[in-house]
Amino acid sequence: MEDDEACNTRLRLGLGLGDYVPRRKEHDQKEKPVVCLDLTFALRPKHEAINKTERSSFKKMDRDEEFPNKENNSINNKKESGRKKLRLTKEQSSFLEDSFKLHSTLTPAQKQVLAEQLNLKPRQVEVWFQNRRARTKLKQTEVDCEFLKKCCESLSEENRRLKKELQELRSLKVGPSPLYIQLQKAATLTMCPSCEKNIKANEGNGTEAVFDVVRKNNKLESGFDGAN
């Protein structure tokens, strides 16, 4: 059991995994935690200059801090005190947001520094970043979905237009529409006269040639006869 002062302090800070901090009290609090955005160390590229041992130690710190003793695991917490909702303060959220804008993932060292600066547990910082990434992804999915929806609408419209165009072309070919008749006349005028002329000329030339041969033969025959 904690005394009133300790309770008030905890409420003022609004911190601690599983600690119950009413939202209104958090937002109404007069004393805001002062944080400075010094992430030169914290925001190193992921895994840069951090070996496995270092990572392991940070991870171990997380777990040790989260579960100081074996009995204090999440299940027992739930059973004993119930799961309480923690709300981060505006300052904590905006600080984490700024960090996220710089790097969407954290190294264990960055996590540790952020946690210290915000007076949070490293695990809480880690969870916040995980949830933040999930939110970003969801938002991007929504944007992609909207874009694809517009593409779909555009293609549907194009499809409708092309179908209509195709239908019009088919009706031109099959049906005796005024336009179709006009096109037929135009085709006759441009093609038929020259074709007919050519055909008659060819026919004439052929007949004349045959007559020439006959006449020549007759001449030869009469001349031969006459010479004899």
Partner DNA sequence: GCCGTCAATGGGTGCC
Partner DNA sequence: GGCACCCATTGACGGC
Nearer to DNA, 22 or 204 (CB): 22
Query: At closest approach, how far in Å is the CB of 158 from DNA?
Result: 33
Residue the block writes with tokens 């009413």? 22
Nearest to 96 by CA among 68, 126, 136: 126
Strand, coil or helix: 128: helix
Query: At closest approach, how far in Å is the CB of 101 from DNA?
Result: 16
For residue 104, the 8-state DSSP code is: S
For residue 16, the 8-state DSSP code is: S
Query: At closest approach, how far in Å is the CB of 93 from DNA?
Result: 6
Nearer to DNA, 82 or 176 (CB): 82
Nearest to 140 by CA among 132, 128, 151, 152: 132
Nearer to DNA, 138 or 155 (CB): 138
Nearer to DNA, 56 or 188 (CB): 56
Residue 136: how many other CB atoms lie within 10 Å: 12
Query: At closest approach, how far in Å is the CB of 68 from DNA?
Result: 13
Nearest to 129 by CA among 228, 42, 10: 42
- Residues 82, 27: Cα–Cα separation, whole Å: 23
> Residue numbers of the site for DNA (CB under 7 A)?
17-18, 20, 22-24, 46, 52, 55-56, 58-60, 62, 66, 74-75, 77, 82-88, 93, 105-108, 123-124, 126-128, 130-131, 133-135, 137
Nearer to DNA, 66 or 176 (CB): 66
Structure tokens given for 49: 């200059």
Query: At closest approach, how far in Å is the CB of 145 from DNA?
Result: 15
